[in-house]
């Protein structure tokens, strides 16, 4: 049974990507042989080599599926006009990010692979760049939104927008790493939402 239809071929391609994610997550990228991945997908290495040039290309395909939609979703909140307080947009955006991370096992697996199951050397050095760039983009975006908040007089006086942005930037990055790198993060995940609220509250105008 070979020579499937195009739709069937596309299906096996997706199954290979899914299998790769599972194997990467379990074994780490470098110990994930194409044989293991193929077996997990119910095909042979021949199929894998047909669809992907090598392990690196497979890795990037797996990553692509998850990363871009994530940026899109969080940006939708960040740049939304429906918040009259820009700080609410930032809070909603960050909350949404961690909500997806909590709800989607696929997303969580991919992030865990990229954070603690992949070595950023050789053909994977570019991965670091690909993580780093969205991170810096995020910094630039929230800095703009913090500035809007300041202009509207909704940022606590004495706080510089750029300073607030960098602090939130580090906070978000740290929260992500703490959540994923310690599996004891199970108890942390319950507190994520509250932590974000507390973090944002510190830069809001005191209520009384």
Partner DNA sequence: TTATTTACATACATTCATGAATGTTTATAA
Partner DNA sequence: TTATAAACATTCATGAATGTATGTAAATAA
Picked from its own copies, DNA, none, the partner binding residue 5 (CB below 5 to 8 A depending on kind) is DNA
Picked from its own copies, DNA, none, the partner binding residue 153 (CB below 5 to 8 A depending on kind) is none
CA diameter of the chain: 73
Q: Residue 52 — left, alpha, or beta (φ > 0 → left; ψ -120 to 50 → alpha)?
A: beta
- By beta-carbon proximity to its own copies, the closer residue of 80 and 116 is 116
- Shortest CB 16 distance to its own copies, Å: 21
198 binds its own copies (CB under 8 A): yes
158 binds its own copies (CB under 8 A): yes
35 binds DNA (CB under 7 A): yes
- Shortest CB 30 distance to DNA, Å: 8
DSSP tag of 54: S
119 binds DNA (CB under 7 A): no
193 binds DNA (CB under 7 A): no
d(CA 181, CA 123): 23
- Shortest CB 171 distance to DNA, Å: 38
183 binds its own copies (CB under 8 A): yes
Under 8 Å CB-to-CB from 146, ≥6 apart: which residues? 86, 87, 90, 155, 161, 162, 164, 165, 168, 203
Under 8 Å CB-to-CB from 69, ≥6 apart: which residues? none
CA dihedral 170, 109, 129, 34 (to 10 degrees): 160
| Residues in 113-152 at the binding interface with its own copies, rule: CB under 8 A | 116-122, 128, 131-132, 135-136
4 binds DNA (CB under 7 A): yes
- By beta-carbon proximity to DNA, the closer residue of 47 and 180 is 47
Picked from its own copies, DNA, none, the partner binding residue 121 (CB below 5 to 8 A depending on kind) is its own copies
3-state secondary structure of 204: strand
2 binds DNA (CB under 7 A): yes
Query: How many other C-beta atoms can be found within 10 angstroms of the C-beta atom of residue 7?
Result: 7
Residue ranges that bind DNA, judged by CB under 7 A: 1-6, 8-9, 12-13, 31, 33-35, 38, 43-47, 49-51, 54-55
């Amino acid at each position: 049974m070979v020579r499937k239809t195009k739709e069937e071929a596309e299906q096996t391609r997706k199954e290979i990507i899914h299998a790769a994610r599972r194997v990467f997550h379990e074994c780490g990228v470098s110990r994930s042989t194409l044989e293991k991945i193929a077996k997990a997908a119910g095909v042979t290495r021949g199929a894998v080599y047909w669809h992907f040039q090598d392990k690196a290309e497979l890795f990037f395909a797996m990553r692509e599926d998850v990363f871009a939609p994530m940026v899109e979703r969080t940006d939708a909140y960040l740049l939304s006009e429906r918040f009259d307080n820009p700080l609410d947009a930032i809070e909603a955006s960050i909350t949404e990010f961690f909500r997806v991370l909590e709800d989607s096992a696929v997303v969580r697996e991919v992030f865990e692979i990229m954070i603690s199951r992949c070595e950023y050397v050789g053909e994977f050095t570019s991965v670091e760049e690909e993580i780093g760039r969205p991170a810096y983009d995020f910094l630039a975006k929230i800095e703009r939104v913090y500035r809007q908040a300041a202009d509207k007089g909704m940022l606590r006086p004495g706080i510089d927008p750029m300073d607030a942005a960098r602090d939130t930037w580090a906070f978000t990055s740290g929260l992500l790493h703490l959540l994923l790198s310690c599996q004891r993060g199970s108890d942390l995940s319950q507190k994520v939402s509250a932590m974000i609220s507390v973090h944002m509250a510190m830069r809001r105008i005191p209520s009384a």
